Chain A
């Protein structure tokens, strides 16, 4: 098993990298104390791979993923997503960048309870300004791809947990983003269900021109990753196809 601290060229981003971070550091204030959660992270994430970001609670993986997808400013360092230095963008441009380029699958789905599954899935398209009915039609097509087309008219509370997750996946993919970020997709599922979700994600979210990052600490699915990045105390301690043996 290979363990690589960082395989990319330090000081410059590989132009083919989907995501490139250089020297990403993040501090948080806790009263008078400054806590450094990330210590100068340098890494590249390639498109067409299912990349796992793995670590114990408090290792900094949520902070790192938040910075990588443009919702949390790093204290230091730069982040390029498909060649765009996202923290050089203005606030509005960064929001628009997220809307057009990133799909989110949240652990708790965060579906809007009063609109049906198709409308939930259509939210990114509606936010982009697409006509609601047109957006809904596209969302229904995505739901059909995820095998829950027949649930399109149901409210989230009329769906099972698994169906809700599929709606959340549809919402993350409906606008064809180039980066998909998935937070603990299997945390609340049994082993078999977790593997089915991962199969589904690999089928629909991984593409040649799309990067897919999954934050997880579920060791039942580590074998499904194309690449695993292990984070410990704010540093990448492992980068490889498999988990290190001591984990």
Chain B
């Protein structure tokens, strides 16, 4: 009977493709929007993810994220270095600046100053050049967002910038995870960064800490807090705070939530309507089957098989569409590093199942209510 059910469905090409389209569209909308949402959220932690070697981040107690930080006095570095369990501690500065290109364009940038001696604080990988270029005078390393935005179609290596009225020369390109706002980032040595950013009494944004035992990072962060009075967070904690900050302070969860809900509603509407039409068109055949001796249980399985087929094909197409979208835009810095967490297709699958269960149940009701005797009327 399942075969008959499938043939009944596929034999009506218009409705079959309508159903598949409805599910595919819903899946695409839900999967794609959730993927963008999750990846954008994770951008809130990009500043932390880009510094893979730090086990603990130490900051002023009022600091919240890598971009919302209150500067500390430079003595904080020595305090942290004096805490037992700290293998190394290096200064890290993050500040906003304005840059003017040789063409006269103005761009707001983030300047990140990394430890002069160890260069801890730089992204792990370079797209072009080596991290050693920072030893040259006025050197900065630009991230790939900056390269694409400020120097489209050309290499920025050797380009001179006017950074807060001071000379800077791009000598490398970092392969970094873009920030939530896709701000251009310039990396330089800590001592050089102090020259680039406007002077205030305290300018140390963070102290990056390597633990003697990285598995005890949490205990170390608590010890640092107790002994220094500063705020210390493990890498994971601080990354999560960056994500939470975006959730709490931007409208994107609501906006993306609305889009995902719309995807669901559109799915229910298209699939529900089409499914109902399909069932209505075949109600006489279903009635005849019931009269002949097909049980309601078998009818339920037939409709479930029809819904399952539509779901499988539509869902597959929707997920493939999302993969295609992510792949097609992967070279765009806005979508750089975007991936589809396994939970998202699972969520979409649940949504599709709910859509089909709901619409299938609504459609099925009319079949189950049909009296077999109706075929004689």
* Chain A residues engaging chain B, CB cutoff 8 angstroms: 62, 65-66, 69, 71-72, 92, 95-100, 102, 104, 106-108, 110-115, 119, 123-124, 126-127, 132, 171, 183, 215
Contacts and interface: CB of A to CB of B under 8 A. Distances in A.
B10 interface: yes
B292 A126 contact: no
B294 A132 contact: no
Nearest to A99: B293
Given A72-B371, A112-B8, A115-B7, A96 B284 contact: no
Interface-central residue, B12, B282, B291, by most chain A CB under 10 Å = B291
A66 B293 contact: no
Contact of B376 (A111, A123, A183): A183
Contacts of A115: 4, 7-8, 11
Interface-central residue, B294, B298, B371, B376, by most chain A CB under 10 Å = B376
A65 B293 contact: no
Given A92-B295, A99-B293, A123-B292, A112 B7 contact: yes
B288 A95 contact: no
Interface of B: 1, 3-4, 7-8, 10-12, 282, 284-285, 287-295, 297-298, 371-373, 375-377
B299 to A, nearest CB: 10
A110 B285 CA distance: 5
A127 B4 CA distance: 10
A104 B291 contact: yes
16 contacts: A62-B373, A62-B376, A71-B290, A71-B371, A72-B371, A72-B373, A92-B295, A96-B295, A98-B291, A98-B292, A99-B292, A111-B285, A113-B285, A114-B8, A119-B7, A215-B376
Nearest to A103: B292
B256 to A, nearest CB: 40
Nearest to A101: B293
Contact of B4 (A69, A72, A112): A112
Nearest to A128: B293
B10 A127 contact: no
A215 B289 CA distance: 20
Nearest to B13: A114
A65 B291 CA distance: 12
A98 B293 contact: yes
9 closest residue pairs by CB, A with B: A114-B11, A99-B293, A110-B288, A71-B372, A66-B373, A72-B373, A98-B293, A71-B373, A62-B376
Contacts of B372: 71-72
| Interface SS of chain B | helix
B377 to A, nearest CB: 7
Contacts of B289: 123, 127
Given A112-B4, A114-B11, A126-B4, A95 B375 contact: no
Contact of A114 (B10, B295, B297, B298): B10
Interface-central residue, A71, A102, A132, A183, by most chain B CB under 10 Å = A71
A239 to B, nearest CB: 22
Nearest to B11: A114
Nearest to A62: B376
A108 B284 CA distance: 9
Contacts of A171: 292
B293 A127 contact: yes
Contact of A106 (B7, B10, B288, B290): B288
A150 B8 CA distance: 23
Interface-central residue, B7, B284, B293, B297, by most chain A CB under 10 Å = B293
A130 to B, nearest CB: 11
Interface-central residue, B4, B7, B294, by most chain A CB under 10 Å = B4
A114 B12 contact: yes
B9 to A, nearest CB: 8
B375 to A, nearest CB: 5
Contacts of B1: 126-127
Contacts of A95: 290, 293-295
Contacts of A124: 292-293
Contacts of A113: 11, 285
Contacts of B7: 112, 114-115, 119
A99 B372 CA distance: 13
Nearest to B5: A112
B291 A71 contact: yes
Interface-central residue, A65, A110, A111, A119, by most chain B CB under 10 Å = A110
Contacts of A127: 1, 289, 292-294, 298
Nearest to B281: A113
Contacts of A72: 371-373
B282 to A, nearest CB: 8
Contacts of A62: 373, 376-377
Contacts of A104: 288, 291-292, 375
Nearest to B372: A71
Nearest to A129: B1
A97 B295 CA distance: 11
A198 B285 CA distance: 24
Given A96-B293, A100-B293, A110-B288, 19 more contacts: A62-B376, A62-B377, A71-B290, A71-B291, A95-B295, A99-B292, A99-B294, A104-B292, A113-B285, A114-B12, A119-B7, A124-B292, A126-B1, A126-B4, A127-B298, A132-B3, A171-B292, A183-B376, A215-B376
Contacts of A123: 4, 289, 292
B4 A102 contact: no
A123 B4 CA distance: 8
Contacts of A112: 4, 7-8, 11, 282, 285
